[in-house]
Each structure stands twice: as structure tokens, then as C-alpha cells.
Structure 1
Amino acid sequence: MKRVVVGLSGGVDSSVAAYLLQEQGYEVIGLFMKNWHDDSVTISNECPWLEDSNDALLVAEKLGIPFQTVDLSEEYKEKIVDYMFKEYEQGRTPNPDVLCNREIKFDVFMKIAMSLGADYVATGHYCRKGIIENNGEEVYQLLAGKDDNKDQSYFLCQLSQEQLSKALFPIGELTKPEVREIAAKLDLITAEKKDSQGLCFIGKVRLPEFLQQKLQPKEGIIIEVSSDADIFNETTMKFSNEEEAFAFESRNRDYTNERGKVVGKHQGAHYFTKGQRKGLNVGGTKEALFVIETDVEKNIIYTGQGSSHPGLYKKALFIKNEEVHWIREDLSLQPNETMEVMARIRYRQPLQKATLHQFENGMYVVFNEPQSAITEGQFVAWHKDDEVLGSGVIS
């Protein structure tokens, strides 16, 4: 019997994953990850990990599998929380869920599982794993989950071949309603439990308060930039090569010389992100205000009215070489090579047609259509059909 350690989160997905593995004849061990101690910033009385670890324990008892809790809060603080603070400080917007999978679940947690003699680690992610042969070697594929509504392959877009080789995703072929049905038939306590929201394994966190622990509030101004400002009237530029053209397409606009009008105050530009609409607390505009740029050095937020404001849109983004990650290393591009792909810049965004252009110092992802709120620090993931080939941090 092959041994599998399942990350039991106290939710319905990982509960059913554990059951399915049992049915497939694996020896299953349930492990709950405790990643958080500080309840001062979690919302209301939702002390998520206590309730979740109890639910995970009850599921393990019901299934008759060994269960234990591992405390990874130190590693989580160092690898995820400290990283988040650093990124926000620099005016970037990190994605803790993608990082949590790469650094915690499929690294720290996986090492613990292997030390328990496990052959595999399994999670309740809605995605699938494929195995193909290439030049006599096994190559692992990360495939989208069968349930289009729940496909979570984006959150695993930073996994490596090594990590995928030891990963199992038992519910990838199922839809959410099917998973709930199985849990209800088994009379599992998690059958009707709502999906967790908020940070990976921390639960609902009030982000501004969370950030304020480290990043001090400092008052600044909110400037509104008109959609017909000079900065958007770009005359046709002449570029000596493609790389120059893409660099221009992907640049951040500099609004310092635009005659915008001051419409309000904020408590710190580092609390805001491109495309954000809530939390500006500015009234009296015809259309909703959106953040189009933040300047953390000068502590200014630039905004524009309406979701079609030209300041929100760009056709290209850049990834530094060290931030380009191929799951399918055998398909990685060499300088001056291109690849047509489908790509997304955030979870649940419908896939968009794009072309990857690899140059000496990094890669440009150039979209067929302009994309709204391309945000530094977030991940772009690229696909061929239902396979995630790679990803990168937007720089």
C-alpha cells in the first residue's frame, strides 16, 4: 500500500479527498496545518484554525485514519507574511495563496509528510495531474479541474516537476456539488460547511488592520485623473525593435505632471492596489472611482472614473528572468523565441489570448486585448488547452 498524507483543512474538499484515496486503496494519514497564532486581526469570533482543526479531527475519526496537527506558523510568518509586508511596502500586491502552495503545502508540509514515510501528498484542490512521456522520461502536467467554476490550477501555477511528482489531487475530476454529495452520503461534519474565504489557512483577515501591524498609516492625497488627460493621447510612437515596443506597452504611466484634481485623503498608498474600488471613501463622482496607480514614495493614489478608464488598461506585462517559472521545463523558451498561449492575470479571470516573447533579460506577455488592472506582484499563468505550462510574477 502506498502511503498518502492528506492536508486536512477542515473543509469539505480535503475531507472527500481523504475518503477517495482510501477507496483507491492508499494508506491515508490526515495532517492539519496550523499556520496562524494571532487572532487579533481575524474577523469577529471566527477563530478559524480551532474550529477547522476540530472538524478535521472529526473527519479523520469518521474515516478511521490517523490524524495529527503540525504547527507551521513560524515558517508561514517567515515565508508568507513577512514577504507580504515587504511587497506591500514596495507598492506591489502579492498573492499569498499561490505562495502558500509553493512554499508551505508543497514544500515545508511535503517534507514533513515524506519524513512520515509518505509516497505522496494530497490536497483538496480542484485540479488534475497528468503524466506523459518525453524522451523516455516522465513529465508531469498540471491540468485544470473538471469543474470550470472551481478550477484552482491557477493557485498551483508555481509548482515544480519535483513537487508535482509527489502530489495527488483526488477531487480534480469532480464538481463541487458532487463533492458535497459524497460528503453528505458519508455524513461528514464538513458536508454543508461554507467554503473558506480570505488568506490561505488563516481565514478572514481584515487586510488594512493586518497591514497596519507593520506598515504605519500616513496620510496622503487622492488625485483624480480625467480619462481625456494628455497622458492617454499617445501619438503613434516609433520603436527600433519589438522589445522596445513591449517595454512601452507594459510601462507604468507617470502621472506626476498631469493636472489631476485632489478629491480626497487616504491613510497610506501601500494599503491600495490597482483596480481597487472599495475603501477610497470619495463620493460625488458620476461613476465609481478606481485606483489606476499608486505612488508609495510620494504617498499619492491616482484614480479614474469608471471601469473603462484608460488608466486601468495595458496590453503587455513584463516578468524578470528570475521570476519566470516553467512547470513544463521541457517547453521553456530561449531568447527570441515566442509561444502563443492562453493566459490569466488573476484567479477566476477567463483565459485571454496572448503571446509570450522571451528576451535576454526577461519575458513579455503580450495580450491580444488590453487587460484591466495588471498589478505588480501578482502572478500571470499561461496555458495550452487545459494544461498550465508556467507562470511568473508581474514586475
Structure 2
Amino acid sequence: MKRVIVGLSGGVDSSVAAYLLKKQGYDVIGLFMKNWHDDSVTISNECPWLDDSNDAMLVAEKLGIPFQTVDLSKQYKERIVDYMFNEYEKGRTPNPDVLCNREIKFDVFLKIALELGADYVATGHYCRKGIIENSGKVTYQLLAGVDNNKDQSYFLCQLSQEQLSKALFPIGELTKPEVRDIANDIGLVTADKKDSQGLCFIGKVRLPEFLQQQLKPKEGLIVEIPNDLKIFNQKQPKFTSEIDKLKFLSRKVNYKIDDGKVVGKHQGAHFFTKGQRKGLAVGGTPEPLFVIDTDVEENVIYTGQGKEHPGLLKKALFVGNDELHWIREDLVLDVDVTMQVEARIRYRQPLQKATLHKIDSGLYVEFEACQSAITEGQFVAWYKNDELLGSGVIS
């Protein structure tokens, strides 16, 4: 019997994952990760992790599996929370869920599991693992979940071959309704529990409030940039090389205050992100205002009217070598080589046709269609069919 340690989160997905593994004959242990108890940052009056840990314990009892709680709050603060604040201060928008999987679940947690004699760790992610064997060499694949509505492969886009080799995703072949049906059939307390919202493992937290407790408010200007600003109507120059074209398509427009008009004030540019519409508190425009850029140095937010504002749309992005990651190490591109893929720049975005271009310093992702709100600090992930091949931080 192979031993599997399941990250029981107190939700329905990980509960059913544990049940399925037990049914398949594995020696299953449930482990609840406690990732936050810093009273200096109040997240909500409720105490979600206590409720979740109780639910996880009840599930383990029901399934007849051993259960314990591990406190990973120190590592979580160092690797996720501090990183997040650092990124926001730089004017980038990190994705804590992707980081949490790479740094906590499949690193810190995985090491604890291996020390407890586990062969694998399992989570309730909606994704699948494939295995390719070629002349004695094993390659692991990260495949999308069968449920298109719930596919969570994007959140695991930073996993390595080593991490995937130890991972199991028992519910990847199921849809969410099927998972709930199983939980109801066997009488699990989590069967009808709502999916958790908020930060990975911290619980019911809204990011702006969380950030405001660490990053100091600082009043600045909100500037509206007109759609017909000269730079948007620039004719595409004649390019001498493919790289020049990609540089042009992925370039960052540097706005100045006198490019537009001041329409309001804000309490800190680092609280805002590209594409954001809520929280600006500026009314009276024919179309809603969206954030098209933030300048944390000058503490200015640049906005534009409507979803189709040219300041939101771009056809290419760049990932530097130091933030480039391939799950399929055997498919790493050499310099000057291209690859046709489908890519997404955020969770739940439908996959978009794109071409990867490898250059000396990194990788360009060129999309067939314009993308809205390509945001520095977020992850781009690329796929072939339903396999996630690699990812990178948008620079």
C-alpha cells in the first residue's frame, strides 16, 4: 500500500479526493495546513481556518483516516505574504494562488509529507497528471481537468517535474457536480459547503483591506487618458527584424499627467491593478473608467473609458529568463525557435492562440488577437491541446 498525504482544506474537493484514494486502496493520511494566525493583521472577524480545520477533522473521522494539523504560517508569511507586499510596492500584481502551490503545497508541505513516509501528496485540484515513458525516461504531464468550468491547471503552472512526480489529483477526471454528488452520497459534512473565496489558505480576506494594513495610504491623482491620444494612433513602423516588431507590440506606454485630465484622487497607486474597474469612485463618464496603468513612483493612476480603451489592449508580452519556467523540460525552446501554442494570462480566461518566440534574454508571447489588461507580475501559461507546457511571470 502506497502512502498518500492529502492536503485536507476543509472543502468538498479535498474531502472527496481523500475518499477516492482510500477507495483505491492507498494508505491515506489527512493533513490540514494552518497558514495564518497573525493577529496584527486582522483579516475578518470570523475565524475561517478554525471552521475549516474542524470540517477537515470531521471528514477524516468519517473516512476513518488519521488526521493532524501542521502550522506553516511562518513559511507562508515569508514566501507568500512578504513577496506579495514587495510586488505590490513595485507596482506589480502577484498571483498568490500560483505561488502558494509552488512554495507551500508542493514544497514545504510536500517535504513534511515525505518525512512522514508518504509516497505522494494529493490535493483537490481539478487537473490531471499524465505520464510519458520513452526509452526508460519518465516525463510527467500536467493536463487540464475534465471540467472546463473548474480546470485549475493554471494555478499549478509553476510545478516542476520533481514536484509532479510526487503529486496525485484524484478529482481531475470529475466535474464539480459529480464531486458534490459523491460527497452527498457518503454523507460528508463538506458536501454542500461553498467554495472558499479570498486568498489561498488565508480565507475570507479581501485583498485591498489586507494590503492597506501593511502598505500605507498615500493620496495621489487619478488621470483619465483619452482614447485618441496620439501614441495610440501611431502607424506601425517598418521593422527590420522580428524582435523589433515584438518589442514594439509588447512595449509599455509611459503616460504623463498632462496626457489627460485629472478626474479624482486615490489613496495609493499600489492598491490598484490594470483592468480594475471597482474602487475608483469616479462617476459621471459615459462609459465606466478602467485602470490602464499605475505609476507607483509618482503615485498616479491612469484610467480610460470602456473595456475597449486602446490603453488596455496589447498583442504581445515578455518573460525574462529568470522568471521563465517549463514543466516539460524536454520541450524547452532554443534561441530563435518559435512554437505555436494556446495561452492564457489569467485563471478562467479562454485559451488564446499565440506564438512563443525565444530570444537570448527571455521569451516573447505573441497573441493572434489583442489581449486586455496584460499585467506585470501575473503569470502567463501556455498549452498544447490540454497539456500545460510552461509559464512565466509577465515582465
| CA-CA distance at 1:251 after TM superposition | 1.4
In 2, distance between residues paired with 1:18 and 1:231? 55
Q: Which residue of 2 aligns with 1:362?
A: 362
Q: Secondary structure of the residue that 1:357 maps to in structure 2?
A: strand
User: Does structure 2 retain, via aligned residues, the 8 Å contact 1:275–1:292?
Assistant: yes
In 2, distance between residues paired with 1:383 and 1:42? 39
User: Does structure 2 retain, via aligned residues, the 8 Å contact 1:41–1:206?
Assistant: no
| CA-CA distance at 1:44 after TM superposition | 4.2
Q: Which amino acid aligns with 1:291?
A: V
Q: Which residue of 2 aligns with 1:247?
A: 247
Give the 5 Å matches for 1:72-87.
Answer: 72-87=72-87
Unaligned stretches of 5+ in structure 2? none
Q: Secondary structure of the residue that 1:217 maps to in structure 2?
A: coil
Percent of residue pairs identical: 78
Normalised TM-score (structure 1): 0.98
Q: Secondary structure of the residue that 2:259 maps to in structure 1?
A: coil
C-alpha RMSD over aligned residues: 1.1
Q: Deviations over 1:151-198 (max 9, x none)?
A: 000000000000000000000000000000000011100000000001
Q: Which residue of 2 aligns with 1:111?
A: 111
Q: Secondary structure of the residue that 2:50 maps to in structure 1?
A: helix
User: Does structure 2 retain, via aligned residues, the 8 Å contact 1:41–1:209?
Assistant: no
Unaligned stretches of 5+ in structure 1? none
Q: Which residue of 1 aligns with 2:152?
A: 152
Q: Which residue of 2 aligns with 1:382?
A: 382
In 2, distance between residues paired with 1:18 and 1:248? 50
Asked whether 1:92 is paired with 2:92, we answer yes
Give the 5 Å matches for 1:305-324.
Answer: 305-324=305-324
Q: Which residue of 1 aligns with 2:182?
A: 182
Q: Which residue of 2 aligns with 1:58?
A: 58
In 2, distance between residues paired with 1:160 and 1:258? 47
Give the 5 Å matches for 1:164-175.
Answer: 164-175=164-175
In 1, distance between residues paired with 2:43 and 2:335? 47
| CA-CA distance at 1:50 after TM superposition | 0.2
| CA-CA distance at 1:296 after TM superposition | 0.5
Residues 62, 86 of structure 1: CA spacing in aligned structure 2 closer, same or farther, 3 A cutoff? same
Q: Which amino acid aligns with 1:213?
A: Q
In 2, distance between residues paired with 1:39 and 1:333? 47
Q: Which amino acid aligns with 1:13?
A: D
Q: Which amino acid aligns with 1:222?
A: I
In 2, distance between residues paired with 1:344 and 1:258? 34
| CA-CA distance at 1:258 after TM superposition | 5.0
Q: Which residue of 1 aligns with 2:263?
A: 263
Normalised TM-score (structure 2): 0.98
Q: Deviations over 1:6-43 (max 9, x none)?
A: 00000000000000000100000000000001367565
Q: How many pairs does the alignment contain?
A: 395
Q: Kindly report structure 1 stretches of 4+ aligned residues shifted beyond 6 Å.
A: none
User: Does structure 2 retain, via aligned residues, the 8 Å contact 1:314–1:370?
Assistant: yes
Q: Secondary structure of the residue that 2:245 maps to in structure 1?
A: helix
Q: Which residue of 2 aligns with 1:12?
A: 12
Q: Secondary structure of the residue that 1:275 maps to in structure 2?
A: coil
Q: Which amino acid aligns with 2:36?
A: W
| CA-CA distance at 1:254 after TM superposition | 1.1
Asked whether 1:304 is paired with 2:304, we answer yes
Q: Which amino acid aligns with 1:23?
A: K
Q: Which residue of 2 aligns with 1:26?
A: 26
User: Does structure 2 retain, via aligned residues, the 8 Å contact 1:230–1:258?
Assistant: no
In 1, distance between residues paired with 2:373 and 2:38? 32
| CA-CA distance at 1:255 after TM superposition | 1.1
Residues 24, 42 of structure 1: CA spacing in aligned structure 2 closer, same or farther, 3 A cutoff? farther
In 2, distance between residues paired with 1:146 and 1:291? 34
